[in-house]
Amino acid sequence: MSVTALESSGVQEPWLNLGGYELTSRLLVGIEQYTSPSLVRQVLEASGSQIFITTVDPDNNRPSLLLSDLEDELPLERYLWIGTTSFARSGASALHTAHILRDSYGIDILKLDVRDDGNRPDNKTTIEIAEVLRAEGYSVLPFILPDLDDARALQDLGCSALRIMAAPVASGRGIPEPRRIREIIDGVDLPVIVEGGLGTARHVTLAMEMGAAGVLVNTALVDAKEPLLMAAAMRAAVEAGRLAHLAVAMPGDEDSVGGDR
């Protein structure tokens, strides 16, 4: 394979079209938990992430940086704005958040999260709310526990991509059950983003080697001793994993990637 062919082999190609915006970076970075707008800017730059995730908290329980403050630090217009309902702990709250984001800021691309009290995705309610939001014209990226039937149900609703939980959010545990993730990747025709529990570059490389279309990280960068170094590490890890996936590795380590390559 020539270098040119290598460069266009899937590392830098658009992999997801959201509202006419083509994503080429497969590293999606959440920006919760930061206390410094400057650090958010630097992390986004170091990661190469093309998206900017925003939300409101109608339940009024969660602190996060104000967009008013980030606006002074970041060229917000350079990013694809994606709304999230990650603060929502009920379907009604997720819908309410989605409606506020669209009505106030014109955001109709939604990272849909409906989590239970233990901060784990509530698959059943997520599917119910995804159906409502799809009918209302939103582009939806739902977050679920790995379950093939649920993943296919969301695919049938016309979701843009699926976000599959590898391990509890913010746990840093990596991908303890790769076969469950791999089953989703192989079983749907949508881009699968692996998210939750990815704490270091090794976890991200593994997800990409398994055939994930992308990964989403947040706490892994915030809680790293050096967030900018970890952002750069994650960026390199995504590319390494993607290339290794395309290269198709020699036999011997199938278990790590959840089965036969």
Partner 1 sequence: MEVLVEIPTVFLSHTNGSKRVTAYGGTVAEVLADLDSRHRGIRSRVVNADGTLKRFVNVYVNEKDVRAADSLDTQVADGDSILILPAVAGG
Q: Tell me the window of 60-68, 133-141, 159-167, 176-184 that interacts with partner 1 (CB under 8 A).
A: 60-68
- Give the Cα separation of 73 and 171 in Å (integer): 30
CB of 195 to partner 1, least distance (A): 10
In angstroms, what is the C-alpha Rg of the chain? 17
Which two structure tokens, joined as six digits, stand for 76?
């917000």
Stretch that binds partner 1, among 5-13, 63-71, 134-142, 150-158 (CB under 8 A): 63-71
Nearest approach, Cβ of residue 179 and partner 1 (Å): 27
Q: Which is nearer to partner 1, 58 or 174 (CB)?
A: 58
Among 1, 3, 5, 66, binds partner 1 (CB under 8 A): 66
Residue 162 interacting with partner 1 (CB under 8 A): no
- Interface pick for partner 1 out of 55, 123, 126, 205 (rule CB under 8 A): 55
Write the CB contacts of 89 (distance below 8 Å, at least 6 apart in sequence): 59, 114, 115, 116, 117
Positions 98 through 117 that interact with partner 1 (CB under 8 A): 100-101, 103-105, 111
Beta-ladder partners of 16: 23
Q: Would you name the residues annotated as active-site residues?
A: 111
d(CA 114, CA 121): 6
Closest contact distance (angstroms) between CB of 63 and partner 1 is 5
According to CB under 8 A, which one of 8, 17, 62, 158 is a site residue for partner 1? 62
CB atoms within 10 A of CB 150: 20
Residues 194 to 253 in contact with partner 1, rule: CB under 8 A: 218-219
Look up residue 69 and give its DSSP letter: H
CB pairs under 8 A, 24+ apart, for 117-122?
117/89, 119/168, 119/169, 119/170, 120/145, 120/165, 120/168, 120/169, 121/145, 121/165, 122/91
For tokens 């206390």, the residue is: 35
Smaller CB separation from partner 1, 96 or 124: 96
Rounded to a whole number of angstroms, the minimum distance from the CB of residue 192 to partner 1 is 19
Name the one residue in this structure whose structure tokens are 């083509």. Answer: 22
Interface with partner 1, residue 160, by CB under 8 A: no
Residue 75 CB, nearest approach to partner 1 (Å): 15
Please give the residue ranges that form the binding site for partner 1 (CB under 8 A). 30-34, 40, 53-58, 60-68, 70-71, 82-84, 86-87, 100-101, 103-105, 111, 218-219
